[in-house]
Amino acid sequence: MDNRDMGREPGDEKLFVEFFMKAVEHKARSLEQGRPVHVEREYIKIIVPGSKDTFIAPVRERDKMRFARHYQAFKNKDRTAEIEGTLLESWPALSVTRVADLKAMHIFTVEQLAALPDNAIQKIGLGARELVAQAKAYLENAKDSAVAQQLAVALEKRDQRIAELEKLVEKMVEAKAPLKRRGRKTVEEMDEVVCVQAEQDGELV
């Protein structure tokens, strides 16, 4: 048996299996940088012939073993290096055709566009320098908004914590109230006692 067949299950040879790269948003980095930041992840698609159902999920080690032939063929394909950053499609300043043109030059993110050297900028054509300047400005503005977003998140967490503490204090006060009534007299009750005693003392005089 071919070692690449180890881990296969009965009927796997009938399945349509495809490994592919998918851009997914990195939530933590997006919040940190104040703009959509995507990273490429390996995904697997499985389709049973004759079925309308399609299974799509991030690749697990088990998938690599179970569908070793498909995975090896996928890894052997010539493709761009894994991408990290703000995808061009996520930048509203670019049209669909402009995105396609840049991708044809192997420019996939706003970061890559902003970091282009002069010789590469010249190849883009008319308006290239303005476009690169816009990309740099977009990234700089995103840094400022990131600070504001982080502050807003911190304030929201603080407010939630304060609300939780206030509720806790209310519960503690409510729990002690019955004990206080049964044990010590309230200030109003003590004042009444003092007034009555004073009246009695006046009558004796």
123 confidence band (pLDDT: 50, 70, 90): confident
The partner residues of 56 in beta bridges, in order of sequence, read 45
In a 3-state reduction of DSSP, which class is residue 101?
Answer: helix
Q: Decide if pLDDT at 19 tops 50.
A: yes
- Please enumerate in sequence order all residues whose Cβ is within 8 A of that of 70, keeping only pairs 6 or more positions apart, or say none: 17, 18, 19
Q: Which of 62, 56, 47, 61 is nearest to 22 (CA)?
A: 56
Rounded mean pLDDT, 112-124: 86
Residues near 73 by beta carbon (within 8 Å), at least 6 away in sequence:
none
CA-CA distance, 198 to 191, in Å (whole number)?
11
Is 182's pLDDT higher than 50?
yes
The mean pLDDT value for 72-87 works out to 70
Farthest-apart Cα atoms in the chain, separation: 117
- Rounded Cα distance between 166 and 164, Å, is 5
Q: Is the dihedral of CA 75, 80, 85, 91 positive or negative?
A: negative
The helix/strand/coil state of 170 is helix
The band of 189, judged by pLDDT with boundaries at 50, 70 and 90, is low
- Which among 44, 51, 42 has a CA at the least distance from the CA of 14? 51
pLDDT band of 172, cuts 50, 70, 90:
confident
Residues 39/64, Cβ–Cβ less than 8 Å? no
Q: Running DSSP on this structure, what letter comes out for residue 59?
A: -
Q: What confidence category does residue 16 fall into, taking pLDDT thresholds of 50, 70 and 90?
A: confident
